[in-house]
């Protein structure tokens, strides 16, 4: 039985997805480059794989819209879809690198993710990137 995705109603804003899912998973990947944060055990690497999978899934899910005031407009934009694909592609690259236990590959994927995130924020949310939702990864 095929599911009609047009009948799935968003339950949260795209911004909340970005902060709660994308930001969380991305920071876990970016933090691997910090002193003492590199994965060591198989369990550590599986956690990296899980965060990469979250980014892959988020790239798809943010194309469906959300409850935010601009969300329906954003998902109609070619640029939004391109940034969504870039997000998913960075997640795939991070996942593939994590499976290979290749820290440099994960960090390179993280660099690609930074470029995608910054470009999207500059285009779609330059003045208020988090709409007051607190990021748990403030340094």
* DSSP per-residue letters across the chain: ----GGGPPP-S-HHHHIIIIIIHHHHHHHGGGSTT-S--SHHHHHHHHHHHHHHHHHHHHTTS--SSTTHHHHHTSHHHHHHHHHHHHHHHHHHHHHHTT-HHHHHHHHHHHHHHHHHHHHHH-SS-SSTTPPPTT--
Residue ranges covered by each domain of the chain: 13-124
Taking only the tens place, the pLDDT of each residue in 64-76 is: 889 999 999 999 9
pLDDT value at 5 more than 70:
no
- pLDDT in the model for residue 127: 74
Looking at the domain covering 13-124, what would its CATH class be? Answer: mainly alpha
Give percent of the chain with pLDDT exceeding 70: 88
Model confidence over 8-65: pLDDT tens digits?
788 899 988 988 899 989 999 999 999 999 999 999 999 999 999 999 999 999 998 8
The pLDDT value recorded for residue 60 is 93
């Amino acid at each position: 039985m095929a599911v009609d995705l047009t009948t799935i109603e968003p339950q949260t804003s795209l911004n909340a997805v970005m902060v709660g899912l994308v930001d969380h998973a991305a920071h876990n990947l970016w933090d691997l480059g910090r002193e003492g944060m590199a994965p060591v055990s198989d369990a550590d690497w599986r956690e990296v794989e899980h965060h990469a999978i979250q980014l892959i899934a988020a790239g798809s899910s943010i194309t469906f819209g959300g409850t935010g005031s601009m969300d329906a407009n954003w998902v109609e934009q070619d640029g939004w879809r391109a940034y969504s694909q870039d997000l998913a592609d960075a997640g795939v690259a991070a996942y593939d690198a994590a499976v290979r236990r290749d820290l440099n590959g994960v960090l390179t994927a993280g660099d690609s993710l930074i470029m995608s995130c910054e470009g999207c924020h500059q285009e779609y949310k330059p003045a208020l990137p988090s709409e007051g939702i607190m990021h748990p990864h403030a340094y």
